[in-house]
Structure 1
Amino acid sequence: MNRLTAMTAAALLTLAGNAQTAPTTNIGKSDITVENKLMTPEALWAMGRIATATASPDGKQIAYQVGYYSVKENKGHQVLCLIDANGKNNRQLTTAATSETDPAWIEQGQRIAYISEGEIWAMNADGSGRKQLSESGGSIEGFKFSPDGKKVILIKSIPYNDIIKKNPDDLPLATGRLATDLMYRHWDHYVESIQHPFVADVTGNGITEGEDIMKGEPYECPMAPFGGIEQLNWSPDSRLIAYTCRKKTGLAYAISTDSDIYLYDTETKTTTNLCKPAGYKPVAVDPTRSMKGQAVNSEENLKNNLGYDTNPQFSPDGKYIAWQSMARDGYEADRNRLCVYNRATGEKTYVTESFDSNVDAFCWHSDSKTLSFTGVWHGCVNVYQTNLKGEVRQVTNDWADYVALSPANDGKKLLAIRQSMSEPSDIFIVNPGKEPKKTKVEQVTFENKHILDQIATGKVQQRWVKTTDGKNMLCWIVLPANFDPNKKYPTLLFCEGGPQSPVSQFWSYRWNMQIMAANGYVVVAPNRRGLPGFGSEWNEQVSGDWTGQCMNDYLSAIDDAAQNLPFVDKDRLGAVGASFGGFSVYYLAGHHNKRFKCFISHDGAFNLESMYTDTEEAWFSNWEYEDAYWNKPLSAEAKKTYDNSPHKFVDKWDTPILCIHGEKDYRINYNQGMGAFNAARMRGIPAELLIFPDENHWVLKPQNGILWQRTFFNWLDRWLKD
């Protein structure tokens, strides 16, 4: 997310160029009418999706980005909007046919910079006076101006042929790729380019081409597949850049999560690693075994910041740098702590140790002594504060997820984006009180009110369920829209992915609880073993035990609902899930003792031996399975994992199943979904396969999204209603 930036008035006032002009797009805010007062796939895709928000330097206005989608045109369009901090005077600033993104305040809040077609543009705060600042050939993918406005970080992709070799020049039509090491593809693309940060000057003539601060280095910054400009930040004096990078390639990259924070000096052009001591040498590892018990994660070595270290932010006074930090190498779901680095002494202090969950987002306060952060606890992502001593206090206590956080620039308040299972994202102002009940939260935008006002939503309830080992587990229960307590309803067990992502108050445009409620289903969504927000012990119990207690937790949740909730029809139960949730569905299909009448698995792992070598991020399989399947001897946990792979229990499958997969999913390859479907049909079990040649681990295109929802509910209705 963009942070506040400033730019010199002299530089901007002398910039030359014509105002940007383009035909007006026909993709914008929808005036859709919802029939029968129930959520539909079309209504979901008609909603505006708020992506980023940033307050003006004086805190009086908020610039933000919204995405709108056209099912007919099968594409999306990003626009920029402006609203007063009190929620008044909302207006759309951009109307071009091309998307315009990444708003950032410059020139002391007089102008707003943004990206259009790979170039940086700037406009007045009222949307007038548009001028193009860069001439990069459309190559800019992200940017951040220095506080003094004299420089700007530019994110560009550069060719990368270290792993996939460049084809001979005399074979220009050859489509083959010669790979020489691992990480030849990542998430949904073959790795033939990587992003690098460039530092460019801002002059009276615009923005220069810039200099690559990692020139000659075969490493990416920001880090794929999800990193953005938030992984780099300027020092308040505009001299230093703190950036995130995992300086590894090939096999070493594939098995490691060890990224570091680097400090680049724009004057001396030198780089310092803030996480590792000078002369640090990597510890040798066995790439076919979990790093859990290897020397790399020894107690002595852990002081070297071995896990993910990401998203550095300088304190306003420049004395400190804070970042998110995981302790252990090879563990992508390790607890994300907030590390504060003292630039004068080099001391690192972890200031969220008393919060036994993840730091999801954070920002400094103007006093340089206080930080606010978001984190999940008991199924909700709330706002917390800590000081430099690590004294943490809770700020909000909402049944909601705060998914973004930044200063509101009035010296005290926070700018946040918040969502829940019942409402998509909107912008809020948080005025922290001394305790949560004294905190004031004000909604600024009402992006989808015109749609939500037409829709009957299902009530969301909390329910605590006793597990088979005597623990208490939080389940969200979502009731059907227009709920009648005297009726019995078909009920869905929602299986979460990750395996360590929370069942929080998230709003999804695919796995949407309210559209399930609109279709007449009760949803039981348990925070089973392996999910954050209930302490580290609970969170870590899933690793090496995919088919143990977490599966018992699923069954405890659905059994409790079937036995104790009078509106749940125990004879019409289904289980649905994606990713690890899809794996869970495949496993339950062979172990449910006829509880369920149908299953849906999206992008689930089916054959864990195949999955071990199919996936691109090998550290995941190593940590979760503990061993390559060919190792002798296997650890007890690895043997249990492979022995309990869902594909080994197809002989016990007896229930209709829908398998969904994207062919561009390189995290869990589509052969997993095809294998499950083929096995079901060969067993004579009713089954369908929805395959998307152009989608990855998610479903991103509007018409594919509509097809996904229709197929999903047609399948459920066929087996749970007819």
Structure 2
Amino acid sequence: FLDCPTLACSAERQQAPDKTAATGVVYERLLFRHWDRWQDGARTHLFVQSLDGGAPVDVSAGLDGDVVAAPFAGAGDIVFSPDGQSIVFAARLATHDEAWSTNYDLYRAPVNASAPPVNLTAANTAMDIRPVFSPDGGTLAYLATATPGYESDRRVIVLKDLASGATRPLTAAWDRSVDDLAFLPAGNILIALARDTGQRALWAISLRSGAATRLTGAGTVHGFDLVKNQIVYSRSDLGAPADLYGTRANGSRHRRVTAVNETALRDIALAAFEPFSFAGWAGETVHGYVMKPARFAEGEKYPVVFLIHGGPQSSFANVWHDRWNVQALAAAGYGVVFVDFHGSTGYGQSFTDSIAGDWGGKPLEDWRRGLDAALAQFPWLDGARVCAIGGSYGGYAVNWIAGQWPDRFACLINHAGVFDLRAMAYTTDELWFTEHDFAGPYYAQPALYERFNPALYVEKWQTPMLVIHGGKDFRVPATQGLATFTALQRRGIASRLLYFPDEGHHIGQPANALVWHRAVLDWLARWLKPDKPQ
């Protein structure tokens, strides 16, 4: 709490029992709730504790905002200077526009909190994150976007000379968005993490030219660390959960370091998968994957799960996902098809940007063409038994498909999906998502919101649907799922609602995750009726 002089004061206030029977809370500005919790006035601040003892000091004192920003930022947005005398961190202030601003800034403060933090990136009103010092401490590298209010804008590596204050965009000519970075000991190369065509790879970036050299192949690198000129990284793909790997900084001598799940997976049949591509909207190339059932037999036909990713600026990539695990669907006897439709990441910024103002346009064309292409290329897929499933934007897609493509699917599954874009615009927590993609708030662009509003096409719905939602979901509020189920029931369409009162946008509790998977597999089996359940 900002008015508490010590951590003990904040802890005492949070733990103190309520001395009144009243429960009302007054708010005077957004963001009054975020992700899965209501704001209580407390802020996350950054404290430094000396190993020699003494009281921790708040190096972010005076900032009204979370350090680092909630709910997903972490230690990667905090870095000590090489001499240990200062610390740089990312923060987003709780100003009046907090709910529609992506203005994350980098602040520098002495580790003893002897001076207030100084904003190093005030000139940029978009996002500045992931700071790293050069080995000599003279340069700060970080990631920056250029468009205020657009979280999925391309993240460019920027170099800041800490003596002069001059900045230089290093990767402005590279049409990929960087997720993380670190200096090699010599200080002339940055190791970066970035998506590329369904993969997430490590790259070596020259500080002289900005040229990017790819260091890893297929699969998804989740994170990495440097030990001198060696890189240790975590990697997975659609056929294998994450393990640690190592390589030299020049990309040579790749080797696997761990086999954490080797025993657990020894007797499990894992499904084969392969990439494919097709001409999507306007003939532009769209990429995707097809996964066979785990115990595939030549000459057999298999029902199909058509998986649609959320975001929408995201990717269903070559990754072992802990929630949307494609192997779990393949193990139940299904072929799985998923495509990175227009709006996905890892294919250049214009491809990502193309979904803005067009949530139900280009993507729908890609889904139509992608499913047709997969059925033509992989004849073992049974086009008469297909179910579409998606979460978040993917859940929106399911609702949109229900009204725009009502005769194609045997069933639908909607997790945390948008039903009514007008209600979504006024009840979601982070307004920048909708306000960027629909060119402003609802009251300024009602026609654009309503153009792709699933709620307007309920009279065309006819496909059985499973609806899943969490009661603590403030990104896509639970009323969106309840409204979807109400519309289905009122239309007399076979439907089922699975509601988790204690979950948010994601299902995080293991017991609830089991319930989720059982419900999904039961719905698929009911409508697709695999010939040989596995």
Q: Give your verdict on TM over 0.5.
A: yes
Find the partner of 1:424 among 224, 241, 247.
241
Separation (CA, whole Å) in 1 of partners of 2:134 and 2:21: 52
Summarize deviations over 1:457-513 as a string: whole Å, max 9, x none: 111101011114111111111111121231111111111101101221122222101
State the TM-score, normalizing by the size of structure 1: 0.70
Is structure 2 residue 88 aligned with structure 1 residue 242?
yes
Partner of 1:335: 154
> Secondary structure in 2 aligned to 1:590?
helix
Summarize deviations over 1:115-170 as a string: whole Å, max 9, x none: xxxxxxxxxxxxxxxxxxxx977x9xxxxxxxxxxxxxxxx98979xxxxxx9x99
Write the letter of the residue equivalent to 1:198.
F
Q: 1:189 to 1:178 in 2, by over 3 A?
A: same
Q: 1:682 to 1:592 in 2, by over 3 A?
A: same
Partner of 1:655: 463
Is structure 2 residue 268 aligned with structure 1 residue 451?
no
Pairing of 1:703-714 with structure 2 (within 5 A) = 703-714=511-522
Write the letter of the residue equivalent to 2:22.
A
Moved over 4 A (4+): 156-160
Separation (CA, whole Å) in 2 of partners of 1:562 and 1:593: 19
Separation (CA, whole Å) in 1 of partners of 2:314 and 2:330: 22
How much does 1:371 deviate?
Answer: 0.6
How much does 1:311 deviate?
Answer: 1.9
Q: 1:443 to 1:574 in 2, by over 3 A?
A: same
Separation (CA, whole Å) in 1 of partners of 2:481 and 2:348: 33
Separation (CA, whole Å) in 2 of partners of 1:393 and 1:336: 14
How much does 1:350 deviate?
Answer: 1.9
Q: In the alignment, is the contact (CA less than 8 A) between 2:60 and 2:117 conserved in 1?
A: no
Find the partner of 1:313 among 118, 132, 147.
132
> Secondary structure in 1 aligned to 2:450?
helix
Pairing of 1:710-721 with structure 2 (within 5 A) = 710-721=518-529
State the TM-score, normalizing by the size of structure 2: 0.94
Task: Give the unaligned 5+ runs of structure 2.
Answer: 1-5
Summarize deviations over 1:16-63 as a string: whole Å, max 9, x none: xxxxxxxxxxxxxxxxxxxxxxxxxxxxxxxxxxxxxxxxxxxxxxxx
Q: In the alignment, is the contact (CA less than 8 A) between 1:350 and 1:390 conserved in 2?
A: no
Is structure 2 residue 325 aligned with structure 1 residue 512?
yes
Q: In the alignment, is the contact (CA less than 8 A) between 2:204 and 2:215 conserved in 1?
A: no
Is structure 2 residue 64 aligned with structure 1 residue 218?
yes
Separation (CA, whole Å) in 2 of partners of 1:321 and 1:223: 20
Write the letter of the residue equivalent to 1:713.
L
Partner of 1:490: 303
Pairing of 1:298-309 with structure 2 (within 5 A) = 304-309=123-128
Pairing of 1:37-436 with structure 2 (within 5 A) = 172-192=20-40, 193-203=42-52, 207-249=53-95, 251-266=96-111, 268-276=114-122, 304-407=123-226, 409=227, 411-433=228-250
Pairing of 1:499-648 with structure 2 (within 5 A) = 499-631=312-444, 634=445, 639-648=447-456
Separation (CA, whole Å) in 2 of partners of 1:216 and 1:362: 29
Separation (CA, whole Å) in 2 of partners of 1:157 and 1:558: 54
Q: In the alignment, is the contact (CA less than 8 A) between 2:109 and 2:117 conserved in 1?
A: yes
Q: In the alignment, is the contact (CA less than 8 A) between 1:492 and 1:524 conserved in 2?
A: yes
Summarize deviations over 1:275-315 as a string: whole Å, max 9, x none: 12xxxxxxxxxxxxxxxxxxxxxxxxxxx322221121111
Is structure 2 residue 495 aligned with structure 1 residue 687?
yes
Summarize deviations over 1:324-366 as a string: whole Å, max 9, x none: 2111110011111211211122121222223312111211110
Q: In the alignment, is the contact (CA less than 8 A) between 1:376 and 1:504 conserved in 2?
A: no
Separation (CA, whole Å) in 2 of partners of 1:546 and 1:575: 17
Separation (CA, whole Å) in 1 of partners of 2:319 and 2:12: 35
Q: In the alignment, is the contact (CA less than 8 A) between 1:219 and 1:247 conserved in 2?
A: yes
> Secondary structure in 2 aligned to 1:573?
strand
After TM superposition, the structure 1 stretch with the greater mean CA deviation from structure 2, 532-541 or 338-347, is: 338-347
Separation (CA, whole Å) in 2 of partners of 1:174 and 1:246: 32
Q: In the alignment, is the contact (CA less than 8 A) between 1:362 and 1:406 conserved in 2?
A: no
> Secondary structure in 2 aligned to 1:609?
helix
> Secondary structure in 2 aligned to 1:194?
coil
Q: 1:337 to 1:397 in 2, by over 3 A?
A: same
Q: Paired residues, what number? A: 523
Structure number with greater Rg is: 1
Separation (CA, whole Å) in 1 of partners of 2:20 and 2:285: 62
How much does 1:229 deviate?
Answer: 2.3
Task: Give the unaligned 5+ runs of structure 1.
Answer: 1-134, 140-155, 161-166, 277-303
Partner of 2:480: 672
Write the letter of the residue equivalent to 1:212.
D
Q: 1:159 to 1:228 in 2, by over 3 A?
A: farther
Note the aligned Cα RMSD (angstroms): 2.2
After TM superposition, the structure 1 stretch with the greater mean CA deviation from structure 2, 705-714 or 461-470, is: 461-470
> Secondary structure in 1 aligned to 2:399?
helix
Summarize deviations over 1:667-687 as a string: whole Å, max 9, x none: 100000110011001100000
Q: 1:159 to 1:348 in 2, by over 3 A?
A: farther
Q: In the alignment, is the contact (CA less than 8 A) between 1:384 and 1:392 conserved in 2?
A: no
Separation (CA, whole Å) in 2 of partners of 1:465 and 1:557: 7
Separation (CA, whole Å) in 2 of partners of 1:694 and 1:567: 40
Find the partner of 2:278 among 465, 468, 477.
465
Q: Percent identity, aligned pairs only?
A: 30
Separation (CA, whole Å) in 1 of partners of 2:18 and 2:454: 47
Write the letter of the residue equivalent to 1:418.
R
How much does 1:212 deviate?
Answer: 1.5
How much does 1:405 deviate?
Answer: 1.5
Separation (CA, whole Å) in 2 of partners of 1:665 and 1:570: 34
Write the letter of the residue equivalent to 1:275.
T
Q: In the alignment, is the contact (CA less than 8 A) between 1:547 and 1:641 conserved in 2?
A: no
Separation (CA, whole Å) in 2 of partners of 1:603 and 1:399: 30
